[in-house]
């Protein structure tokens, strides 16, 4: 049995077979969709409550969240879930050599103001001030207490949705769910297998269709078309090394059989890494990938068949490279 998932824009839309019920709510500043069999519909609300709980703890848009309080006070006691998210963020930062950096909040939320009503394009001189030469630093953990340097601000947006997807996935599996889909913007976990369509990053409609090969596949996707200010040149995919948005990779889709938390963070990092470094990083971890570049080139991983079957490109005009 297969279920259809459309990865479309920042909000994402979903369509599934009739035997599953769909519930969608706006949580974590995006559309969250859970798909379950009718005889497990009592699990919808507990699943959404997990997303709400993580949003209450990690959101930079809620002044009462644990992360917002830590950013303001610079020292705060964190819950187990927030502490775990922070520790995993630091680990992802180290693994990606700082291309994923949770301390980039001064740029993303203070300068660009992504997601706020007063989004803006900052001046070059302001970006220079907030560039951090030593990523992953300035965070000190002692038990459940965390202290951060005065000149940094945490933004867990690059892994928070993946982390929430993992928690919901584990909850549903513990409840014995055999079929379903969890979709948080571009972060997806398939219980059983899914048919997935990827939005055309160069135009309208969808450009790729594939079916996941095995149960439990984690998928993460991101693109410069998801969130930007005035033009796609000012997109939300900020390179922590430069403080500037990247422009070369239009869309990134990653697949593996591990957690969505790491995959979400890796997608964020790979989106801003130099291309060859990104490819070497993904190959070293056995991650499948579909990378759309800015010149109508598409790079498929050589191991893509380990994760998907019946992969089809639905439009012509792209040059496909497998490497």
Tokens standing for residue 15 = 């369509």
Neighbours of 4 (CB within 10 A): 16
Closest CA to 175 of 12, 283, 43: 43
CB 31 within 8 A of CB 22: no
Do you know the residue count of the chain?
Answer: 323
What does the alpha-carbon distance between residue 119 and residue 117 come to, in Å, rounded to a whole number?
Answer: 6
138 is in an annotated binding site: no
264 is in an annotated binding site: yes
Closest CA to 154 of 56, 80, 85, 223: 85
Q: What is 156-196 written as a DSSP string?
A: GGGTHHHHHHHHHHHHHHHTT--SEEEEETTEEEEESEEEE
User: Strands 193-199, 228-229: parallel, antiparallel or unpaired by DSSP?
Assistant: unpaired
Q: What is 40-90 written as a DSSP string?
A: GGGGHHHHHHHHHHHHHHH-SS-TTSHHHHHHHHSEEE--HHHHHHHHHHH
268 is in an annotated binding site: yes
Q: Give whole-number Cα distances, 48 to 10, 34, 68, 117, in Å.
A: 19, 8, 22, 26
Tokens standing for residue 84 = 């775990």
Q: Give whole-number Cα distances, 38 to 32, 169, 179, 194, in Å.
A: 18, 17, 11, 18
Q: Which residues are annotated as a binding site for Mg(2+)?
A: 158, 264, 268
Q: Which residues are annotated as a binding site?
A: 158, 264, 268
């Amino acid at each position: 049995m297969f279920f259809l998932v459309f990865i479309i824009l920042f909000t994402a839309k979903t369509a599934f077979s009739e035997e599953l019920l769909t519930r969608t709510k706006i949580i974590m500043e995006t559309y969250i969709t859970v798909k379950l069999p009718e005889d497990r519909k009592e699990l919808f609300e507990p699943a959404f409550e997990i997303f709400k709980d993580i949003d209450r703890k990690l959101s930079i848009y809620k002044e009462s969240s644990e992360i917002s309080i830590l950013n303001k006070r610079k020292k705060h006691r964190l819950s187990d879930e927030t502490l775990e998210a922070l520790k995993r963020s630091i680990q992802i930062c180290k693994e990606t050599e700082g291309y994923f950096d949770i301390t980039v909040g001064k740029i993303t939320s203070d300068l660009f103001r992504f997601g706020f009503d007063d989004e803006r394009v900052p001046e070059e001189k302001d970006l220079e001030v907030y560039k951090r030469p030593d990523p992953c630093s300035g965070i000190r953990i002692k038990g459940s207490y965390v202290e951060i340097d005065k000149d940094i601000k945490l933004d867990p947006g690059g892994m928070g949705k993946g982390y929430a997807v993992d928690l919901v996935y584990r909850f549903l599996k513990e409840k014995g769910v055999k079929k379903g889909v969890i979709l948080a913007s571009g972060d997806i976990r398939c219980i059983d297998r899914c048919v997935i369509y990827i939005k055309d990053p160069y135009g309208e409609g969808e450009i790729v269709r594939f079916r996941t090969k095995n149960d439990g596949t984690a998928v993460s996707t991101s693109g410069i078309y998801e969130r930007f200010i005035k033009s796609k040149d000012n997109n939300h995919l900020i390179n922590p090394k430069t403080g500037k948005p990247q422009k070369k990779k239009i869309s990134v889709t990653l697949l593996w059989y591990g957690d969505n938390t790491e995959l979400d963070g890796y997608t964020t990092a790979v989106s801003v890494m130099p291309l060859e470094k990104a490819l070497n990083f993904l190959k070293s971890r056995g991650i499948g990938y579909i990378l759309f570049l800015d010149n109508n080139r598409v790079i498929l991983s050589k191991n893509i068949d380990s994760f998907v079957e019946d992969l089809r490109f639905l439009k012509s005009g792209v040059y496909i490279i497998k490497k």
